[in-house]
Each structure stands twice: as structure tokens, then as C-alpha cells.
Amino acid sequence: MAELRRILHIEDDPSIQAVTKLALEAIGGYEVLSCSSGAQALEEVERFAPDFILLDVMMPGMDGPETLARLRERIDLQRIPVTFMTAKVQPGEIEHLRKLGARDVIVKPFDPMRLPEQIRSIWAAGR
Amino acid sequence: MNDQAHLELQKQLERLNQQFAQRLHSDLAELAGLADELRRSCTADSRRQRMLALRERLHRLAGAAGTFGFDPLGERARRLEQRADRWLEAARPTTRTLEALARAIEQLARETPGKALQAAVLEPRENPDEQPPACRIYLLETDPEAGANMALTLRNFGYLVSPLRDFTALQDAVDARLPDALIVSVQQDSELERVAQLQQQLKAPLPLLVIHDHFDFASQLAAVRAGAQGFFARPLDITQLENSLERCLDRQQEPFRVLIVDDDAELAARYSLVLRNSQMQVQILAEPTRLFDTMRSFNPEVLLLDVNMPGCSGPELAQMIRLHDEWLRVTIIYLSAETDIKRQMAALLQAGDDFITKPISDNALIASVYSHAQRARSLSTALARDSLTGLLKHADIKEQLALEVQRATRSGKPASVVMLDLDHFKQVNDRFGHAAGDNVIRALANLLRQRLRRIDSLGRYGGEEFVAVLPECSALQARRIFDEIRGRFAALSFNSGDARTFSVTFSAGISETDGRTAPGILLERADQALYVAKHSGRNQVQVAQQ
């Protein structure tokens, strides 16, 4: 598998969007495209050709799981791992999200300084 | 990343934090508005719509606030979200719970003033004069006088104490803000059942200490069922209670470190996720040959080791680890699909401490790893630290001093060395007995730990002698800090075995690094200053003349 370089981040909360982008770019050295909705992500995903997708679960309109299902119609999710971000941490919920096809789940609140390392280890674990 | 880039990053992060703080104003106002609308709406359908909207806002706040450093706010939002969830899922949602929820949301919005938010963002982290964040304790005691007395003593130890008169007040206080620990004073076991119910509502039960009129089997069982980590009979020995409080707060501090060695990446990732969600730190290693490097950098407390790996087996790896005394404190647990008891036994006889048979449920995995990690940590602490006080031993504090002196020389920022000795301690032992004397030493150790920063080192140097090393702290700052501690310590009242009370004072001497002087000399100077303090009437702090 190729090197991890490009990350697509789908998140409706502007503050979370900004801090995630900053951390992943400045600390992780990745290239990040932020999308504010599932619909926008569907438009951008093929052109941006991400190596990794970070997806918020609860969004107005098209939520995380639905976005994941629609993404699957367009790209090969075996090759591009999708990781959910959620503020809910019930064991049942995480199991459910993984069954939907997510590689992993990152729990909010998160520490921006440690996020790149977390993503790197999820990426490494999948190889 | 170089220093310049790092600084720039810190600045940008801070800017984002401030932007978030500003956004919180409007977010909270919006929440309050929605809560008000919720309360006014009459039809079942409009109530439901508004509750859904509120839940979404709360969810968002729960996820975002902690990320930007507003952890308590995020935690409150999360609990309110759960309450909204429960209302939405209830078969017969009542107006009363709706009203209560709306009130709680409005309260949240009201109690989070903008100035405090800004201050929280801009506050520098570790300033020697600044107190470490105090632990918040809720104290349930129906007798107001007893409650006030206990609160006073615990405050002198540096805890933030809210005395509460009855259970309803306790419930309200917990709903408004989670404490770090709970102390309940009860007369009957039935009162503990209500505490148990309160604990069940929470995501994780609070550390709980129980003071009970009865000291029998049934009452201790009731206490344990409510989640008690300490049990005390009356008359209360407050220093013992404080000691226990210290221990259960300490236990929560650092997450356990778990290393998984498994060539099955999928499975390792799954275990890692489960454990991380239980607030443990996890690292995965697929390549056994890098084991020792990884262990040195990560310093795990528990090792989960796959039995069958290409190259070398789990038991072989375990035996290699056991060749090194430095890793004796690490618990080794095998992961295996092996159900053959004989082969499991054989593996355990070679090395290793336990077996986990795959597949295992999430909860069983958490429970197993957690219990081993806890045991490993308390053992490790017991080995490295003085058994009475939990502080560093003589040799370790000297080593720490040498390290800090070196660091101070490099950074050019002064560090302070403090030597502290209890006044007339022999008389305490003679008059009140050694158990009382031990109590005094423990209390002083706990008080020092409470008042100093995390980066400060603290050791028990001799019988009643303590040494503290304070990096990035001048002698004058150190003097101010120890003078304050001295006042608090002198105000503590101790119980002897036979219901007499007494108090004790200490004297301290301080020296400051200057980039030239060796650690041993600095210690001597602090000792000389201590000598001056003793001869000038004790119960005082002196700074060494350079």
C-alpha cells in the first residue's frame, strides 16, 4: 500500500474542522481537504483522491453512516480506510460503526496534538 | 519539528481555542433559547422536534468543548445529551423531566460566563506560584457542624470541598458539575443504596469514601456495592481518610499503558480500540524483534502477547523479557485461540502471568487488562517509593536533584532545593505514640503533594526530613509557596489514639541553583538554611545566603 499523504476530513463543525486541519498539516505533514457536509465530500472525493478519510458521525442532512454508504459507490474503501469521529462512546455504537465498514473510531473530545499519531497508527494497523 | 515551527503551531492552536471560546457565547445563548422554546411548546410533536434539535446541539458541544480545553463544559453537555436521549426514548416522556432538563440547560448557559472562558484559554499552564488545579470533593454529612469541621480540615489539605446536607442537594450538585471524589457520611445501609443509584447514572462511578456508624459485614458490603474505595468508622481519623482520598484520586491520574504484540493487525487494532475507549494508552507492535526498543520507549505496564507468531513464539518472547530484571514489573498476558488447557499451563510455567482465550468479549478484555494493570502499577509504586508516604526514597530524590540541576544549568532558569524538617517530632512520637507520628508524616507528604506542581519532585530524605526540588522556580517563589504550606500544616489538627488532639509545625531551608554549584553543595546550603530556621525559633522558612 502507498504512503499516507492525503486525508479527506468531513465535519460540519467549523471549529473542529479548523483544529483538525491544523494538527494534521502542521504536525502530521499531511495534505488535508476539509468538507462541511457529506454532499460536498461526494463531489470532491474522486478529484482529491484521498489515502484516508476521516468522517464525523452526526451531521445535519446526510449523516456519517449514510455518507459512508454513498462513498462506497464511488471509491474502493478496501484501499482507502474510513475512520469515524464521534462524541458517543458506548461499546455497542462502536461495534455498529465498524460493522458499517469503518476501519476505526476516534472518540471526541480528542487531543489535537496526538491526532496525527493516532491516525498514523490506524493506518499502520491496516497494512 | 523545530522550535520555531512548534511555537508557531502553539500560537495557531491558541488562536483557534480563542475563536472557539468566542463561538461558545452564541452557541450557549442559542441553547438557552431552544430550552426556553422547549418549555413553552405544548404539543407532543413540537416538543419532540425541539428536543431533537437540542440533543444535536448538545452532542456537538460535548464533542467540541473538550477538544478545545473546556473539558468540564463538554462533560456537562454530554450528560445533558444523555438525559435528552432518555427523554426521547422514554415510553411516556413526562413534562417534569422535560422541565428539569430545560432548567439544567439554561443553567449551563448562564454559568459559563465569557470572561472565565477567555481566562481558561489564556491561562499559562505551569507557573510555580499558581496552585495545581485543586480536586473537587462533595461531602455529604447531615450534621452541619461535623460537615463544616471536616470541610475545614480537607481545605487545609488543598481540596475544594462542598459540604452538602442531604441527598437531594448531592444529586443537584453532581448534575451541575462532577466532583473528583465523593465522601458520604451515613447512619444506615439504606442510605448507601441511594448513593449506588447515583453512581449508576454516571459514565464511570466516582471514587467514593464512606463514613459509617457501624463497622460490620453488612455495612461494608453495602459500601462496596455503592462503589466505595474506602470505609471509615466513627470516631473518624481524618488523616487516614485524607490518605485514602489521596490514593483513590492518584489512581485515576495516568492512563494505564498496554502494549499489544500480535501479527494479526485486524485483531490488534480491535483490541486497541476497545482498551483505548476505556482510557488506556495502547501501542501495537507487529514485529517481535523490535520488542525491547518499543518497551523502553513506551514503558508498558501490561503486555498482551500473541502465542503463535512467525519467527518466535509468545512464550519465547516472555522468557526473553524475564531475563531482564528491569521488566519484572510488567505483567505478561498471552493472547491465544488455544483452548488446550495443558498447553496453556505449559506456556504459563515457562513465563507469563495469565491467559486470554480468543475470542473474548470487549468487557472481559477490559476487565482482565484493567485488573492486571492496576496490580502492576500498585506493585511498581510500592517498590520505588517510600512505603509510608508514597514519596521518592533517599537515593531516588538525590538522583532527581542531580537531573534537575543539570536541566536548570542548560535552560538558564533557576531551580530551588528545599529541605524540610518537622519541629520537635520526637516529642510527638513520645507523647502520642508512633502510629500518631506516622500519621503526621503521611499528612505532611500528602499536603506537599497537593500543593506542589506535577513537575516538582518530592522525596522523604530521612525519618522526618523531606527534600523537594522545584524546577523553574526561584528561591523567593519557593519561599512564598512553602510559607503558605507551613501555615496550612500548622493549622491541621491531629488525633492521638486516646482522643487528644495536637498540631505540629515544620521548618524549611531553601537554596537556589546558579549554574555552577554541584547538587551536593546545594543540598548542604539548603540544610544550613534549615539550621538557621531551627535556631531562629522553628516554624519558619529560610533562604540560604549565596
Domain assignment present for A69: yes
May I ask the CATH class of domain B394-543?
A: alpha beta
Taking the C-alpha atoms of residue B364 and residue B358, their distance in angstroms, rounded to an integer, is 11
Domains of chain B, by residue range, sit at 14-122, 136-251, 257-384, 394-543
Write out chain B's pLDDT in tens, 546 residues.
Answer: 567 777 788 888 888 888 888 888 888 888 988 898 888 887 888 888 889 889 888 988 888 888 887 888 888 888 888 888 888 887 777 777 888 888 888 888 877 654 444 444 333 334 555 445 678 899 999 998 888 888 888 887 778 899 999 999 999 899 888 898 999 999 999 999 999 999 988 878 899 999 998 889 999 999 999 999 899 988 787 777 887 887 777 644 568 899 999 888 888 888 888 888 777 889 999 888 889 888 887 889 999 998 888 888 888 999 999 888 778 889 999 987 766 777 778 888 888 888 888 778 888 888 899 889 888 887 776 666 676 777 888 877 888 898 889 888 888 889 999 999 999 999 998 888 887 888 899 889 988 988 888 788 899 888 899 999 999 999 999 999 999 999 999 998 887 767 788 999 999 999 999 988 999 999 999 999 999 999 999 999 999 987
Q: What is the pLDDT of residue B1?
A: 58
Q: Mapped to the 3 state alphabet, what secondary structure does A29-82 carry?
A: CCEEEEECCHHHHHHHHHHHCCCEEEEECCCCCCCHHHHHHHHHCCCCCCCCCE
Helix (H, G, I), strand (E, B) or coil at B133: coil
Specify whether the CB–CB gap between B460 and B468 falls below 8 A.
Answer: no
Which of A55 and B273 is assigned the larger pLDDT? A55
Q: Assign A127 a pLDDT band (cuts: 50, 70, 90).
A: low
CB pair distance less than 8 Å for A125 and B272: yes
Which of B23, B62, B362 is opposite residue A15, by nearest beta carbon? B23
- Chain B residues with CB under 8 Å of A103 CB are 269
C-beta contacts of B146-151 below 8 A and 24+ residues apart: B146/B185, B147/B185, B150/B183, B150/B236, B150/B238
CB pair distance less than 8 Å for B363 and A91: yes
Longest Cα–Cα distance of chain B, Å, equals 80
Distances (CA, A) of B257 to B278, B298, B300, B302, B347: 12, 8, 5, 7, 24
Concatenating the DSSP letter of every residue in B312-356 gives S-HHHHHHHHHT-GGGTTSEEEEEES---HHHHHHHHHHS-SEEE
Show the domain range for A106. 6-125
CB pair distance less than 8 Å for A87 and B62: yes
Using a CB–CB cutoff of 8 Å, tell me whether A107 touches chain B.
yes
| Residue of B63, B67, B103 whose CA lies nearest to B83 | B103
Using a CB–CB cutoff of 8 Å, tell me whether A92 touches chain B.
no
Distances (CA, A) of B289 to A122, B94, B216, B258, B311: 21, 61, 54, 18, 9
| Residue of B51, B32, B42, B161 whose CA lies nearest to B107 | B32
CB pair distance less than 8 Å for B59 and A122: no
Q: Give me the amino acid identity at B427.
A: Q
**Dihedral pair phi/psi, residue B518, rounded to 5°:** -75, 155
> Does A51 score more than 50 pLDDT?
yes
- Chain B residues with CB under 8 Å of A19 CB are 13, 16, 67-68
- Inter-axis angle of helices B3-40 and A14-22, nearest 10: 170
Q: What is the mean pLDDT of chain A?
A: 89
CB pair distance less than 8 Å for B67 and A16: yes
- Note which residues in 271-300 of chain B have CB less than 8 A from chain A: 272-274, 276-277, 283-284
Q: What is the pLDDT of residue B74?
A: 85
Using a CB–CB cutoff of 8 Å, tell me whether A110 touches chain B.
yes
Which of A15, A27, A89 is opposite residue B68, by nearest beta carbon? A15
Helix (H, G, I), strand (E, B) or coil at B421: strand
Rounded to a whole number, what is the distance in Å from the CA of B7 to chain A's nearest CA? 11
> Which H helix or E strand runs over A7?
strand A6-10
CB pair distance less than 8 Å for A112 and B12: no
Taking the C-alpha atoms of residue A106 and residue A55, their distance in angstroms, rounded to an integer, is 10
- Give the count of alpha carbons within 13 A of B220, CB side only: 7
Q: What is the pLDDT of residue B117?
A: 47
CATH assignment, B257-384: 3.40.50.2300
Rounded to a whole number, what is the distance in Å from the CA of B408 to chain A's nearest CA? 27
Taking the C-alpha atoms of residue B49 and residue B38, their distance in angstroms, rounded to an integer, is 9
Q: How far is CA B500 from the centre of its chain?
A: 33
Q: What is the pLDDT of residue B360?
A: 81
All cell numbers assigned to B39: 418549555
Taking the C-alpha atoms of residue B387 and residue B88, their distance in angstroms, rounded to an integer, is 52
CB pair distance less than 8 Å for B63 and A108: yes
| Whether the predicted model's global pTM rises above the 0.95 cut | no
Specify whether the CB–CB gap between A103 and A81 falls below 8 A.
Answer: yes
The count of domains in chain A is: 1
Question: Regarding the domain delimited by B136-251, which CATH topology (the fold level of the hierarchy) does it fall under?
Answer: Rossmann fold (3.40.50)
Which of A88, A109, A126 is opposite residue B265, by nearest beta carbon? A126
Give one word for B270, left, alpha or beta, with left for phi > 0 and alpha for psi -120 to 50. alpha
Domain assignment present for A72: yes
Using a CB–CB cutoff of 8 Å, tell me whether B66 touches chain A.
yes
Distances (CA, A) of B318 to B235, B288, B308, B360: 50, 11, 12, 22
- Chain A residues with CB under 8 Å of B274 CB are 91
- Chain A residues with CB under 8 Å of B277 CB are 89, 91, 94, 107
Closest residue in B to A18 (Cα) is: B16
Is it true that B136-251 and B257-384 share their CATH fold? Answer: yes
Taking the C-alpha atoms of residue B545 and residue B524, their distance in angstroms, rounded to an integer, is 12
CATH code: domain of residue A109: 3.40.50.2300
Burial B220-237 (b: 16+ CB within 10 A, else e): bebbeebbbbbbbeeeeb
Q: What is the pLDDT of residue B501?
A: 85
Q: What is the pLDDT of residue B486?
A: 95
CB pair distance less than 8 Å for A19 and B71: no
Taking the C-alpha atoms of residue B365 and residue B386, their distance in angstroms, rounded to an integer, is 33
Q: Is the peptide bond before B235 cis (omega within 30 degrees of 0)?
A: yes
- Note which residues in 32-91 of chain A have CB less than 8 A from chain B: 58, 60, 85-89, 91
Domain assignment present for A1: no
